Amino acid sequence: MSIFHVITLLIVISALFSYINVRFFKMPTTIGLMIMAMIFTVGISISSLFTDVLLNNAVNIIGSINFKEVLLDIMLSFLLFAGALHTKFPDIKAQRYPIIMFATVGVLVSTFLIGTVAYYLLNFMNLPISYLQALLFGALISPTDPIAVLGILKKAGAPKRLETKIVGESLFNDGVGVVIFLTLFQLAASPEADVSAGHIAFLFFEEVGGGLLLGLGLGYLTYWLIKSIDNYETEVMLTLAMVTGGYLLASSLHFSGPLAMVVAGLFIGNDTRRQSSMSEMTELYVDKFWELLDVLLNAILFVLIGLEVLIFTFEGNYILAGLILIPVALICRYLALLGPISIFKTKLNFVPKTGLIMTWGGLRGGISIALALSLTSEMNREVIVAITYIIVVFSIIVQGLTVEKVLKWLKVKG
């Protein structure tokens, strides 16, 4: 089946599921689409009791899609730019210090906490894993997913300053989490290499620092080009070219593409720069274009997450390990957030129970699955992918559907 047929099929399924969700179920779009996709796969599996034709075709189609490449190399740049473009820069700026701490120190601490517990747990369960491989799991499961978080928090009615912290953290910790993962991946892929702590630090700061600077440069260049003309069609194309070309440039320079897109989106989306560079018509079309692209890619992504279950291996001990590691991941996230919260809560007037809400509202998503799928078979890929999928599904469905209830239970009002 050609790439055109695969894309067409995904768009048709996503549109149909989206209609059914809006018309009947009325769940948050991302959650509704993923649940329906998983129900769809269960139906396909049941049909194999009578004939294997449908199941074999479905497995072949899903197996032909490189989920890691589709998300990390194609979708992620558009989704992060769109999310940052519609995030209020003054809100992010006011909460910049805790957001930076959450997205850096928080992710690092969470990586080591989850990785250490996973190492002892999996080896105890006769699922042999090295400590470095356990840290890889910690790195890929620690970042929260802005794609899953954004719409759900708005619907839940979270207080604005709390929503800003969670959304801001999730926008930046994806980039930081990917950098930590890639650094650990290089170590795991070449265990015989003599890699010093200085070399690891250089790789980390090259990716992070380079991504931030490139994002500023791309944002300013695009802002200057948009400011010099008044033609909304061309200005929309300039933003699209910046995202596609900028992400490719970041990859070739070994800079963090996700961080570059977030910074560029925040730079261009800043109200001051919007007013000085875009006419009302341009602003309308830029916003609507990226909103529509965001919705479409989100729909396809969460349908893909639901369908991926067809090609994963779920043995009994994999499922048990995944279920045990769900509360472990939540507790480790809570502990990782304690330090930054205690430092800034008085100065910035944090919402009561911020740690609990950020723990439950910090959803894991497709990025974790994509990173898990990028592992090699020598890195215990099968068990890590299965455990990651279980945690992500729980996070999106259970946490996503109960965020609003948790806010009410804690008596936190927007």
* Domains of the chain, first to last: 3-63 (no CATH), 67-409 (1.20.1530.20)
Q: For residue 151, what pLDDT band results from cuts at 50, 70 and 90? A: low
Task: Name the residue among 142, 107, 105, 130 with its Cα closest to residue 325.
Answer: 142
Average pLDDT, rounded, for the chain: 89
Q: Which pLDDT belongs to residue 413?
A: 66
Q: Which pLDDT belongs to residue 227?
A: 94
Q: For residue 19, what pLDDT band results from cuts at 50, 70 and 90? A: very high
pTM of the model: 0.91
- Alpha helix stretches (DSSP H) within 102-158: 107-124, 131-141, 146-156
For residue 134, what is the DSSP state? H
Q: Which pLDDT belongs to residue 194?
A: 55
Q: What is the DSSP string of 162-182?
A: HHHHHHHHHHHHHHHHHHHHH
Range 94-97, long-range pairs (CB < 8 A, 24+ positions)? 94/161, 94/164, 94/348, 95/161, 95/164, 95/165, 95/168, 95/348, 96/168, 97/344, 97/348
Q: For residue 196, what pLDDT band results from cuts at 50, 70 and 90? A: low
Residue 131: partners with Cβ closer than 8 Å, 6 or more residues away: 115, 116, 119
Average pLDDT, integer, range 352-359 = 89
Q: Record the tokens describing residue 106, joined without a space.
A: 């928080």
Give 201-260 pLDDT, tens digit per residue: 787 888 889 999 999 999 999 999 999 999 999 999 999 999 999 999 999 998 999 999
Distance CA 227, CA 277 (A): 4
Q: Are 31 and 363 in contact (CB under 8 A)?
A: no
Q: For residue 198, what pLDDT band results from cuts at 50, 70 and 90? A: confident
Q: Record the tokens describing residue 74, joined without a space.
A: 């194609």
Distance CA 308, CA 365 (A): 13
Which helix (DSSP H) or strand (DSSP E) does residue 306 occupy? helix 280-307
Q: Record the tokens describing residue 112, joined without a space.
A: 């080591």
Q: Which of 57-66, 228-237, 333-342 has the lowest mean pLDDT?
A: 57-66
Helix, strand, coil content of the chain in percent (nearest 5): 80, 0, 20
For residue 104, what is the DSSP state? I
Average pLDDT, integer, range 266-270 = 92
Q: Which pLDDT belongs to residue 344?
A: 87
Q: Which of 116-120, 144-148, 190-194, 214-218 has the lowest mean pLDDT?
A: 190-194
pLDDT at residue 131 is higher than 90 = yes
